[in-house]
Amino acid sequence: MIEKNWDSQVKQALSRGLDFERAVQLSTCVRCGLCAESCHYYLVEKDVKAIPAYKLKIVEQVFNYYLNSSGRFLTFWFGSQRLKASTVEKWLDILFGRCSLCGRCSLNCPMGIKIHDLVRLGRSILAELGLVPSGLASTISTTINSDNNMGIKTEEWIGTVRWLEEELRRELEDSSVCLPLDREGAKILYAINPREAKFFPLSLLAVGKIFHAAGESWTLSSNYYDVTNYAYFSGQEALAAEFFRRLEISMKRLNCQMLVLTECGHGFVSARWEAPAWLGYQPDFEIRSILEIMADYVQQGKLKLDPSRNNLPVTLHDPCNLVRLGGLLNEARFLIRQSVKNFIEMKPRGIENFCCGGGGGQLAMTEFAARRQKAGQIKARQIKETGAKIVVAPCHNCLDQLLELNRIYKLGVQLKTVTEIVAEALVF
Amino acid sequence: MTEGKNQVENVELNEEGFLVHPEKWNEQIACWLARSQEGIDNLTEDHWKIINYLRSYWERHGLAPMIRLLCQETGFSLRKIYELFPSGPAKGACKVAGLPKPDGCV
């Protein structure tokens, strides 16, 4: 990497991304090292560079140089570090290449430091310098330049909805079933992950069945329907706000009351918890995950489920963004218990669950793929230990990583979304 | 055969097993990719139907087709496609057909 003077860009990114809380947290770590054992990268690599406190330290050093006047002059005393080419290389390798922003370290930090959030701050500085790793940058630019992160054209999406609608009618032998598109005034707008439309549409068929069975008023949108927000992974918050605003535009255009999100971890955290801060206001509609909606249906007696339809042993992978960082602790397991006969929990589970290894934009960054696959061995071991034949994961990103782990570690399991497993148990 | 073997040996793959130069793909490379990357020892006629469609679509459009087109053009059901390529249409079929990795959650 060529040496450059990045001072003004770093200061700009820091002043934009650094609020009081982040500034205090950057000066709080006491290097106790308890976070090490919480990180799947460290557990697999046993490399100091993977210890969350180390990731935090390299961000803190740069923060001390630029925003602490004593730190700039007494660099040795403060351990402060000007951003040089060698620092940038280290940051790229560690902040992008050795962290999936899963937040397990933050949960286990006795000082309460949100380490993963500060890693994201570091990433945002690299993004300011135009140094987002190519795979992630290309997914983001596809989203900017088209309607969604896979570049699906409107007519292709409409064609897919019509095709799936026919499939659904054939399967249910009922010509009145619809996959409504652009239905103005519907109560729910359902936002999808483009991966469902492009390659894995079984979850769309499943959600169509469930909404039909519950008699819901809902619609899909012909444009701006993408629940993902890859700018969250690169720390580009202004851009992340733009991506969220697209969903808001669809909500207004179709005059819906509630935005319901498909099974997507970072999409849920972005829309439900982060968006208000990015936007500077609270959206005037409710934002919920499809898991919450389905759990409500079951509790209200709107869905009749027969667990004997799913006899194979089933386990659940808790997506970090949905559970540890998103707060949906019980919905997925409640729905699975209602839909299958034999449910086995992983150890650890819930908020202490290990990341699959595919989060934080890792799946998009081909340059770090080998490390990601290796880091996934903890999840692979967890799955093996359950003896389950079906792994349910309410996140399309996790599912893709699990598909790879299934092949690499010869797990021999089927992978499903919660929506799919519920739809299979559905009795009409 | 030796020449073919050399051709395969010179193939450059990225960290995820996709071709670095998708334009250098040929049928021999497809067989090798299927075996070494996806654990598919024998590419059947059904596999080839999918691979050939993906390849020709990519050559025309520069990206992978929607699963709808893949199903409709090959006449296979969704489940059949997932059976033929257990890693799925993107990381399985597109990889063997020598397409670059698609953007997004794949």
What pLDDT digit, counting tens, does each position of B60-81 carry? 999 999 999 999 999 999 999 9
DSSP structure class, residue A181: B
Question: Is residue B4 scored above 70 in pLDDT?
Answer: no
The alpha-carbon gap from A136 to the nearest alpha carbon of chain B, in Å, equals 8
**d(C-alpha B66, C-alpha B68), whole Å:** 5
Residues of chain B in contact with residue A368, where contact means CB-CB under 8 angstroms, are: 15
Tell me if B103 and A193 make a contact (CB, 8 A cut-off): no
Inter-axis angle of helices B67-74 and B45-61, nearest 10: 130
A16-48 burial by CB neighbour count: b if 16+ within 10 A, else e? ebbeeebeebbeebeeeeebbebbbbbebbeee
pLDDT tens for A2-29 read: 999 999 999 999 988 899 999 999 999 9
Give Cβ neighbours of residue A305 (< 8 Å, ≥ 6 apart).
Answer: A298, A338, A339, A422, A425, A426, A427
Residue B106: list chain A partners with CB under 8 A. 195, 199, 363, 400
Residue A105's Cβ-side half-sphere holds a number of Cα atoms within 13 Å equal to 32
Nearest chain A residue to B87 by CA: give it: A403
Within 10 angstroms of residue A107's Cβ, the number of other Cβ atoms is 18
Would you list which residues of chain B are within 8 Å, Cβ to Cβ, of chain A? 14-16, 18, 38-39, 63-64, 66-68, 71-72, 78, 86-91, 101-106
pLDDT tens-digit series, residues A202-253: 999 999 999 999 999 999 999 999 999 999 999 999 999 999 999 999 999 9
Å between A63 CA and nearest CA of chain B: 32
User: Least CA distance to B67: which residue of chain A?
Assistant: A199
Tens digit of each residue's pLDDT (9 = 90 or more) over A310-338: 999 999 999 999 999 999 999 999 999 99
A138 contacts in B (CB within 8 Å)? 103
Q: Which one, of A80, A232, A222, lies nearest residue A158 by Cα?
A: A222
Q: What is the structure's pLDDT at B7?
A: 61
How far is Cα A263 from Cα A337, in angstroms, rounded to an integer? 18
The Cα of A99 is separated from the nearest Cα of chain B by a number of Å equal to: 17
Average pLDDT for A271-299: 97
**Over 50: is that where the pLDDT of B3 sits?**
no
Helices (H), A218-258: 231-234, 237-254
CB within 8 Å of A32: residues ≥ 6 apart: A53, A110, A111
Smallest CA–CA separation between B102 and chain A, in Å?
Answer: 7
Give the domains, in start order, of chain A with CATH numbers: 7-131 (1.10.1060.10), 142-299 (no CATH), 307-425 (3.40.50.10700)
CB contact under 8 A, B103 and A366: no
CA angle A116, A295, A172 (to 5 degrees): 120
**A34's tokens:** 């308890």
- Cα gap A424→A338, rounded to integer Å: 11
**Residue B15: how many CA atoms within 13 Å on its side-chain side?**
15
Q: What is the pLDDT of residue A42?
A: 98
- Rounded mean pLDDT of A379-386? 98
Q: How far is B66 from chain A (nearest CA, A)?
A: 5
Computed over every residue of chain A, the mean pLDDT equals 96
- How far apart are alpha carbons A106 and A22 in whole angstroms? 13
| Contact status, residue A392 vs residue A312, Cβ threshold 8 Å | no
At residue B2, the pLDDT reads 39
Which chain B residue shows the shortest CA-CA distance from A362? Answer: B105
Residue in chain B closest to A200 (alpha carbons) equals B67
Instruction: Look at residue A68 in the predicted model and tell me its pLDDT.
Output: 81
Q: Which of A301, A313, A300 is nearest to A340 (CA)?
A: A313
Chain mean position to CA A143? 16
pLDDT digits (tens, 9 = 90+) for A134-181: 999 999 999 999 999 999 999 999 999 999 999 999 999 999 999 999
Q: Identify the CA nearest to A207 among candidates A185, A194, A183, A191.
A: A191
All residues at 6 or more sequence positions from A128 whose CB lies less than 8 Å from its CB, including other chains:
A9, A10, A12, A13
Distance CA A313, CA A341 (A): 8
Taking all residues of chain B, what is their mean pLDDT, rounded to a whole number? Answer: 90
Question: Which chain B residues are within 8 Å of A150, Cβ to Cβ?
Answer: 102-104
What is d(CA A206, CA A392) in angstroms, rounded to the nearest whole number? 14
The answer, yes or no, to whether residue A186 has pLDDT greater than 80, is yes
Q: Which helix (H) or strand (E) holds A53?
A: helix A52-67
The number of C-beta contacts closer than 8 angstroms across A and B is 85
Query: Which residues in chain B are contacts of A364 at CB distance < 8 A?
Result: 103-104
A161 to chain B: closest CA residue: B68
Residue A93 DSSP label: I
- Asked if A201 lies within 8 A of B78 by C-beta distance, the reply is yes
Chain A: closest CA distance from residue B64 (Å) = 9
Q: Which of B54, B63, B105, B106 would you mutate first to test chain A, the one with the most A CBs within 10 A?
A: B105
> Which one of B38, B63, B103 has the shortest CB-CB distance to A138?
B103
The length of chain A is: 428
Chain A residues in contact with B90 by the CB 8 A cut-off are 198-199
Q: For a pLDDT cut of 70, what percent of chain B falls above it?
A: 93
Cβ within 8 Å of residue B83, ≥6 positions away: none
| Inter-chain touch A151–B63, beta carbons under 8 Å | yes
Grouping H, G, I as helix, E, B as strand and the rest as coil, residue A300 is coil
Q: What is the pLDDT of residue A103?
A: 98
Q: Cα A174–A178–A180 angle (5° rounding)?
A: 175
Distance of CA A121 to the CA centre of its chain: 17
Residue A401: closest CA among A361, A367, A358, A354: A358
| ipTM of the shown complex | 0.90
Sequence-ordered list of residues with C-beta below 8 angstroms from that of B12, at least 6 positions apart, any chain:
B19, B20, B21
**Portion of chain A with pLDDT greater than 70, in percent:** 100
Q: How far is CA A226 from CA A196, A323, A350, in A?
A: 10, 21, 27
Alpha-carbon distance of B63 to A52, in angstroms, equals: 38
Q: Where are the beta strands (DSSP E) in A176-228?
A: 188-191, 218-219
Whether residue B105 lies in the annotated active site: yes
Partner-chain residue, chosen from A151, A198, A407, that has the shortest CB–CB distance to B87: A407
Kindly determine whether residue B103 and residue A403, on different chains, have CB atoms separated by under 8 Å.
no
Taking the C-alpha atoms of residue B53 and residue A201, their distance in angstroms, rounded to an integer, is 19
Q: How confident is the model at residue A297 (pLDDT cuts 50, 70, 90)?
A: very high
Q: How far is CA A387 from CA A276, A311, A318, A406, B76, in A?
A: 41, 14, 17, 13, 32
Mutation target vs B (from A148, A199, A229; most B CBs, 10 A cutoff): A199
Rounded CA separation A183/A160 (Å): 17
Q: Name which of A4, A114, A134 is nearest A59 in CA terms.
A: A114
- Residues in chain B closer than 8 A to A407 (CB atoms): 38-39, 86-87
Residue A11 neighbours by CB distance under 10 Å:
15
Cβ–Cβ of B67/A142 closer than 8 Å? no
